[in-house]
Chain A
Amino acid sequence: MLPIGQLLGEGVVVGLAGGTGCLATCGPVLLPYLLAEEGRSRWASVLALGQLLLGRLVGYLAIGILAWLAGMTVLASPRWRAWLVGTAYLGVAILMVAYGFSPAAKGCAATPGAGILARVRTRWPKLLPAALGLLTGLNLCPPFVVAITRAADAGGLAGSLAFFSAFFVGTSVYLAPLPLLGWLRRPEAVRTTARLAAGVVGVYFAYLGLVNLIGGLLA
């Protein structure tokens, strides 16, 4: 097994090198959400980013465990990879379309007499970034595939997880400034547009998901 220190260092470097790709994937997903929600405090914006990052970390670690379990055999298969990414993207798409195109929930979840569905509807956007983070974290973009190869070489579960944790830190640097945009003053028009944009981005991810699934079938 490679020394943990070396794996951590390499993970950060690979993450920093490929992190702009993460910004390209997670930026369009997180930004509309940050701009759409009403009356968010600075801390709430940071919390949303925190949730997204946590979701991504869980996604990365899940891949890390898979990489360790399977070596490269499963993840190296183009079909398997395409299906994993396709399914994850379709998950992102469903969440974003539902969030973007459903009317904004009004009122308070704690209103006495509100049914369980009403409560879920009012609260679910609050957990949305975590779910989106998890699903985008399963994205097997080129730097991520490099990371998987390296992690599979690490030779042990601890090494694999250490590498992916470091990779996560490296890539997160690029996402850190996003909450600043959430702090901007957002008139109603901007919030409505941002929410609809989440739906449009969702349609785009649905397209990417379908392309991957069909690609997996044809591989």
Chain B
Amino acid sequence: MSSTPTTTSRPWSPGLSWPKTALAALPMLLLTALMLLGGRPLPHDPLRLVPLLAVFVLSNVLFVLMLRTGKTDRFRAILFVTVAVCFVLSFIPNLLEVRGNIGLTGDDLVQGKTPFCHMVIPMTVIPAALTRTIIFPGSMLTGFAAIGSMLVLWLAATLALGRGFCSWGCFFGGLEDGLSRVRNRPLVKAIGKRWTYLPYAVLGTVVVISALTLTPTYCEWLCPFKSVTEFNALTNTRAVAQAVIFFSLFAGLVVVGPVVTRKRTQCGLFCPMGAFQGFTNKLNAFEVRVDRERCSDCGQCEKVCPTFSLDRESLAKGGTRVSCVKCGKCVDACPKGAAAFHIKGTALRPQARSARLLFLYPAFLFLTVFGSGMIQDGLYRVLLLVTTGSMIAH
């Protein structure tokens, strides 16, 4: 395969020849080995060793396939979905070990034992800037998922990927990403464009109400992912009402919505964190662009985009909407090779292959390193279950 994009109408693919693939994959091989071991010797416990090796092999095989075939989303999705499933498998047993229960009690809140998650970042940092109060009952620097370390991780991912965080970092997004691929054809095809603005409306409202009431409103009332992580112990009417809302939103936006629309409905139609993250796309150097000279306006990219980030208007302008999560699905699907990863300020076509590579290194590394702990622990819990009959280490 030629490494220089042609100017004919023959579909262009960002795939590399085998020698170039080997060369480009080598740094990732070394980096993942370094990151996964972190200077420690290989564990002796087979229940820990097997997951570690599995993550190392899986991530590097996927990266090689990504480079060789030129397909991004196809292999990203495998790792992304695995991370999300393993996160759930790992999170709940972890809580049981650390805290002894899944339901949050009043004492847990007072003692700041609530693990912090990136979903509440906009509802935390904006009121924090305005009121100098961190409105989240978690610990700032110590313990499992402390606020400080989560903010640093999020900031790093945001600088490197913009809203790419939502398809290369968010450990919830993989659930709906996976479920959106269950059916081959969508049952519901038309969703009005106005609804794609709903996440911004939810963001604005939640930030204002959080700042006025000094409570993490989204976390307390609206997060669908509470259903698969933790929620208040069901000891009063309020907690029951909250749990009903969490499960309804989870069922609607994370399960049924993606299955019937083949879209990431929570990310594209509701998530305020995603809306907030969209603005960081403006600051980030990477984007997905459409080469108007190659584009035949077939609409394939618009059809497959899981976050409603391409429409006729954005296509005409040769770009995506601000909500693009840089998953690469449109790039994979474009029959003309017109959609491509791009570095802002550079020429579109001659640089497309290097732009993709430059994006893939931080994105894939982030997904692997951020997700490897979750995959390892998830696999470990499964192995523990198989060998001891319990997912909790005693």
Contact of A200 among B195, B202, B237 (CB under 8 A): B202
Contact of B198 with A by CB under 8 A? yes
Main secondary structure of the interface of A (DSSP, over half): helix
Q: How many residues of A contact B (CB 8 A)?
A: 18
User: CA–CA, A200 to B194, complex, Å?
Assistant: 14
Residues of chain B within 8 A (CB-CB) of A199 are 201
User: CA–CA, A193 to B195, complex, Å?
Assistant: 9
A212 CB to nearest chain B CB (Å): 14
Instruction: Assess the B194–A192 pair: CB atoms within 8 A.
Output: yes
Instruction: Assess the A193–B212 pair: CB atoms within 8 A.
Output: no
Contact of B194 among A27, A196, A201, A214 (CB under 8 A): A196
Chain B 205-241 against A: per-residue CB contact (8 Å), 1 yes, 0 no? 1001100100000000100000000000000010000
Instruction: Assess the A193–B204 pair: CB atoms within 8 A.
Output: yes
Contact of A192 among B197, B204, B208, B237 (CB under 8 A): B197
Contact of B200 with A by CB under 8 A? yes
Instruction: Assess the B208–A28 pair: CB atoms within 8 A.
Output: yes
Residues of chain B within 8 A (CB-CB) of A214 are 237
Residues of chain A within 8 A (CB-CB) of B192 are 103
Contact of B197 among A24, A103, A196, A204 (CB under 8 A): A196
Instruction: Assess the B205–A204 pair: CB atoms within 8 A.
Output: yes
User: CA–CA, A27 to B205, complex, Å?
Assistant: 11
User: CA–CA, A106 to B55, complex, Å?
Assistant: 55
CB within 8 Å of B: which of A180-219? 189, 192-197, 199-201, 204, 207, 214
Q: Which residue of A lies closest to B200 (CB)?
A: A193
B219 CB to nearest chain A CB (Å): 15
Contact of B205 among A24, A103, A200 (CB under 8 A): A200
* Chain B residues near A (Cβ < 8 Å): 192, 194-195, 197-198, 200-202, 204-205, 208-209, 212, 221, 237
User: Can you list 29 A-B contacts with CB-CB less than 8 angstroms, sorted by A residue number?
Assistant: A24-B212, A27-B208, A28-B205, A28-B209, A103-B192, A103-B194, A189-B197, A192-B194, A192-B197, A193-B200, A193-B201, A193-B204, A194-B201, A195-B201, A196-B197, A196-B198, A196-B201, A197-B200, A197-B201, A197-B205, A199-B201, A200-B198, A200-B201, A200-B202, A200-B205, A201-B205, A204-B205, A204-B209, A207-B221
